Structure 1
């Protein structure tokens, strides 16, 4: 009897191991591409004036996500992508993390690469972090990535890799000082190709490519700018060249996946981190607004999926999706389980089969404790969208290749004067937000404002120190933006 029991236990263990191995064998490689400040109107499949053949091909062969939302700005978006939690549950809802602030995405929140490592993935990151770096514990290789090549801050010179004249370029934990003069997109592609070449394809790979393009400063090698001789405005011409440099980079990475025999087994996700920035020639037309705003132009982003696991392709996915959904969605695609405590919901089965998705509402942002540069708050429930307060700096509809005079940032009292003012739109009938229904449908305003209040009742106050921490000064770290001071 004892022998029979031991045999059964061994057989059960062997079966469980085989099942786990089968799950692991079916796990796709995942290439997660995030463009920086790429607008709705800045890709060829939305605007034929843009030369993005690689992006367009992937999008059209895959599934275009037409109603995917991120935050109005960078740090909040990247936090939502990595954790599955809204920024207002982490104190990151106000503007972005600045290099002299002792702030990072909360360490108690488990990052996507950590979740994927738990189910057998190799995890690598290339590009922009912008989730805090005052402590080493806040940085990529301490938050689930096997390797990191890129920069910690919001932006920097694309050639010197400096911000405020201090270096911000890392290979894992070491500063990179020998690439001054090399365009950052080229260095990122080279590292991605090297990761793919060296990877043992029997293990699933998660490669997070967080490109610097097309964030300001507007810089690009001239051959890319010259691809757009018909664009009159120099800034828009250079910006468009940055988009094409990004497109070529994505083509080079996917070519490497093919050469390494991994392409057919790879799920590719592409998204921008927020809408385009009109001040720096990004364009979201015909959507209203841009980066910083809670209008659609600041939050509804270019996005698609391609490759392994998709059962229906060459179509568009019209269900609502938010940045907080990506963590659970990719973990499920990889064979893992959702985080039942997070704000996200897995949309993998819906995306894979192009079925209606599970999300019916989302919070664009909730930021009422400080001067609301990026909007007090906004919520979508079904087809209706309610904006509460000041929507932000770019409230209009900006066509490409035109020069605009932008109003200066209003004073804090002027912004606070918008508190309690509502705008209501039916996005199904009015996706470009021209017709404010708040006066004609006060019943919907009341219902949605109450729903927003309920969803944000446990919001964490913004963690946004106004006084720079002197310990952050890069002169204390050999003129390099560095961790180790908080």
Structure 2
């Protein structure tokens, strides 16, 4: 296994990028509810088939301790695209949306650096039926039923929060077959403000096709593409082409998840081939990650793939503990890969990093000045071997009634009325041994760091209260004091 120590010559060549050299293209590929286990390069399970994404890891750097900022899609995406802890602007969970207009997205930053910016696939940062506070403030006399707004939110309001208004110059935004777009799959530019279209076909192939059209149109200038695949998130669906790759006996929901992940992997392969075709693969940084861990429904019940009651999306977090919605490793530790020709090949980087770092790294590579508002760090010096310390002194989380903090070795979780947990993550990444009573002084130190961080948030503080019912079920099943 290679180490993370590279040469000083490599480091000096890296810091020139964004100034005298051509600015690198940047592609962020974000899977949806993909668990820690479900890439072949993770080495956790044997039934997965992801040769193209595995090639990214072989040709780049795989982060064994890569984290998202939340175990849920919308806040995780808010943290990714702003480079800031989303709790700083009150976006702890989906109902806290939409992404405030005061927040600067990575797309807007890179636009100022001369990049063409594009978004494809899932967005989920606009107002939706559960964003009750925003709806109450912006729609007079709004009525709710079971916590949901039943009327259509006016497009004139929603569009203020969509990609085209948040720094993305070109977009193909949607989930399955209905999209808001300003370009089509025949390489035509449409009305800049966007058009609503129905696009026939399989959703993951559609999203790949749209990404390829963006690259084809913009390959002669620096571009930033945020490709947010809607998979393997439910509703599960796959074509015969992908299902036939998994003939073995297995749970039905697992087969559909594997097929969907295989479709995403094919998309990554097609993107990589196009980059090579245009001779820009060496000058393109690709980041692959998931927005959170897999939802397991605790017992991974194998309901029919099209049953809307199914909680498990078929993905797995092995060997990490817990699932989507939890601040255990299974909820927030995800597959995380960066491939760029200026970095070394086949490296496994073991120090904790965050999706917060993607924005800070991209800003630096684009030649933009460092912004203290960003909570992430430029990873390049750490990956070059010039800086051998951990990129972060601490990483923090707050979600529902749970809060957590990790330093280079220790992780502390405060789970409301269920108590506190302390794990030596270096020795015990599966969080089997709660050491809070063995090392109370370490627990108190980390608790203090967590409290100091939480004072900066909106609203400030740690939520000392009873866990929600769903959290109680998780902690009763996965953890014991």
Report Cα offsets for 1:128-166 as digits up to 9, x if no partner: 111124442211111111111022xxxx5x3xx3xxxxx
Counterpart position of 1:251: 269
Measured in 2, the distance between the counterparts of 1:352 and 1:186 equals 36
Q: 1:24 touches 1:119 (CA, 8 Å); kept in 2?
A: no
Measured in 2, the distance between the counterparts of 1:454 and 1:115 equals 29
Please tell me whether residue 224 in structure 1 is matched to residue 242 in structure 2.
yes
Provide the TM-score with structure 1 as the length reference. Answer: 0.76
Q: 1:271 touches 1:302 (CA, 8 Å); kept in 2?
A: yes
| Cα RMSD after superposing both structures | 2.0
Counterpart position of 2:319: 286
Report Cα offsets for 1:280-301 as digits up to 9, x if no partner: 2220111101111100011011
Counterpart position of 1:33: 29
Counterpart position of 2:307: none
C-alpha change, 1:24 and 1:209, in structure 2 (3 Å) is farther
Please state how far the C-alpha of 1:308 moved relative to its aligned partner.
Answer: 3.5
Please tell me whether residue 205 in structure 1 is matched to residue 203 in structure 2.
no
User: After the TM superposition, which parts of structure 1 deviate over 6 Å for at least 4 consecutive aligned residues?
Assistant: none
Please tell me whether residue 195 in structure 1 is matched to residue 214 in structure 2.
yes
Measured in 1, the distance between the counterparts of 2:369 and 2:32 equals 29
Q: 2:357 aligns with which of 325, 332, 335?
A: 325
Report Cα offsets for 1:304-348 as digits up to 9, x if no partner: 1112321x2211111211122211111112222221123222222
Counterpart position of 2:47: 49
Aligned residues: 387
C-alpha change, 1:253 and 1:429, in structure 2 (3 Å) is same
Measured in 2, the distance between the counterparts of 1:231 and 1:454 equals 51
After TM superposition, the structure 1 = structure 2 runs for residues 238-317 of structure 1, keeping only pairs within 5 Å, are: 238-278=256-296, 279-310=312-343, 312-317=344-349
Q: 1:27 touches 1:334 (CA, 8 Å); kept in 2?
A: yes
Secondary structure in 2 matching 1:105: coil
Measured in 2, the distance between the counterparts of 1:52 and 1:21 equals 31
Secondary structure in 1 matching 2:422: strand
Unaligned residue ranges in structure 1 (runs of 5+): 1-19, 162-167, 391-416, 463-486
Measured in 2, the distance between the counterparts of 1:22 and 1:290 equals 39
Q: 2:59 aligns with which of 48, 58, 61?
A: 61
Q: 2:392 touches 2:407 (CA, 8 Å); kept in 1?
A: no
Please tell me whether residue 384 in structure 1 is matched to residue 410 in structure 2.
yes
C-alpha change, 1:115 and 1:49, in structure 2 (3 Å) is same
Please state how far the C-alpha of 1:360 moved relative to its aligned partner.
Answer: 2.1
C-alpha change, 1:27 and 1:21, in structure 2 (3 Å) is closer
After TM superposition, the structure 1 = structure 2 runs for residues 50-449 of structure 1, keeping only pairs within 5 Å, are: 50-70=48-68, 71-94=70-93, 96-97=94-95, 103-133=97-127, 134-151=157-174, 158=176, 161=177, 168-172=178-182, 173-180=193-200, 182-201=201-220, 203-278=221-296, 279-310=312-343, 312-353=344-385, 355-356=387-388, 357-363=390-396, 365-367=397-399, 372=400, 375-389=401-415, 417-418=417-418, 421-449=419-447
Please state how far the C-alpha of 1:116 moved relative to its aligned partner.
Answer: 0.9
Secondary structure in 2 matching 1:33: strand
Provide the TM-score with structure 2 as the length reference. Answer: 0.77
Secondary structure in 2 matching 1:177: strand
Measured in 2, the distance between the counterparts of 1:430 and 1:190 equals 42
Q: 1:338 touches 1:346 (CA, 8 Å); kept in 2?
A: no
Secondary structure in 2 matching 1:89: helix
Secondary structure in 2 matching 1:280: coil
Secondary structure in 2 matching 1:116: helix
C-alpha change, 1:319 and 1:337, in structure 2 (3 Å) is farther
Secondary structure in 2 matching 1:194: helix
Report Cα offsets for 1:20-76 as digits up to 9, x if no partner: 997274211111111111111111112332111100111111111111100211111
Q: 1:309 touches 1:333 (CA, 8 Å); kept in 2?
A: no
Secondary structure in 2 matching 1:212: strand
Measured in 1, the distance between the counterparts of 2:249 and 2:222 equals 43
Please state how far the C-alpha of 1:221 moved relative to its aligned partner.
Answer: 0.5
Measured in 1, the distance between the counterparts of 2:20 and 2:108 equals 16
Secondary structure in 2 matching 1:23: coil
Measured in 1, the distance between the counterparts of 2:228 and 2:357 equals 18
Measured in 2, the distance between the counterparts of 1:84 and 1:122 equals 19
Please state how far the C-alpha of 1:192 moved relative to its aligned partner.
Answer: 1.5
Report Cα offsets for 1:96-131 as digits up to 9, x if no partner: 24xxx8x32122221101111111111111111111
